Homo-oligomer: A and B are copies of this chain.
Amino acid sequence: LSQGADAERVAGALAGLGLWTRRLVGAHGVALAIREHSAAVDISRIESLPGVDQVFRAEPRCERLAAQAGRPVEISGAVFGGGDPVLLAGPCSAESKAQVREAAAVVAARGARFLRGGAYKPRTSPYAFRGHGRQALTWLRDAADAEGLGVVTEVLSEGDVQAVAEVADLVQIGSRNMQNYALLAAVGRTGRPALLKRGAGATTDAWLLAGEHILAAGAEAVIFCERGIRSFDSRTRNLLDLGAVALLKHVHRQPVVVDPSHAVGRRDLIQPLSCAAIAAGADGLLLEVHPRPCEAMSDGPQALPPHMWEDLVDALGLGLVKV
């Protein structure tokens, strides 16, 4: 602040702009520190306030994200950030050629633009089913082509990046690998667009910087995907953080989708939270849909059966206009 400025009045003016401040005292003057949960405000509006001498701020660290900000991203014909939510749907795992075909037909029939499905599955136990690998990639590509869908599928290992990138229109990096920088770079180098899930214990800053890692390595685009974070309540599988979605969309202006299936893990809450995600600003939804959840090899309890998928699409179509 300027010498002689009335700190309380300046703090009030900053509050008027939506800024939380903390008063700091130095030997020769007073400063106001702006807290992190303040609204985003153009710096010139602060500089022009009476009593403000100089505004200090952190230098931007995310040039590639800045370049991507606010621009719709088109991937295999679907536009993220173009107004209509993009639906990416399908089973947790690609279990068989027939299952993948059936799932693709179910989701395509109601407007999904991408088929999701895991060929490589990260599993907490080393003894659990880990996916059908390259074979499953073929199933996904064929089924997607038959229905006019894009493919989004996860890659777990640097060694599989090339194979996955050849098949997938959107290469998924899972929650557990959000800070696996070697994998981020390997995916980035393929140039393909990436879908970056948020780590369950990751701050929004670390998530954005992980996206910058991918872009810096050469990816065409990064789509962020919120899938729930760790919390202390056991009634939902994870904690869906729609504040982070609103932050990424409305402040950082990045393309962002939501995976309500993993976020809550409860089939009975997926519909209202899908609607909420879109209202918060999500550009799309990543959803687990399985022709027969009772036969699913993984995540059956959170997969939507076809009739619930249809109801969900209806609810989205009728009930919500993006804000």
Which residues of A are at the interface with B, using a C-beta cutoff of 8 A?
Answer: 12-16, 18-20, 22-31, 33, 36-40, 47, 54-59, 61, 122-127, 156-159, 176-183, 199-206, 209-210, 212-213, 216-217, 228-237, 239-244, 246-247, 249-251, 263-269, 271-273, 275-281, 292-296, 300-302, 305, 315, 318-323
Q: Which residues of B contact A30 (CB under 8 A)?
A: 56
Whether B200 and A201, one on each chain, are in contact in the complex, defined by CB atoms closer than 8 angstroms, is yes
A123 CA to B264 CA, complexed, in Å: 28
Q: Give A18 to B265 CA distance when docked, in angstroms.
A: 9
In addition to A38-B301, A124-B206, A176-B181, 17 A-B residue pairs with Cβ atoms within 8 Å of each other are A14-B301, A18-B301, A19-B301, A39-B266, A126-B209, A204-B233, A204-B235, A231-B231, A231-B241, A235-B247, A236-B243, A240-B243, A250-B268, A272-B281, A279-B319, A319-B321, A320-B320
Contact of A212 among B126, B204, B266 (CB under 8 A): B126
Known A29-B54, A59-B25, A203-B233; judge A272-B246 contact (CB<8 A): yes
Docked complex Cα distance between A28 and B54 (Å): 7
Is there an interface contact between B25 and A56, defined as CB atoms closer than 8 Å?
Answer: yes
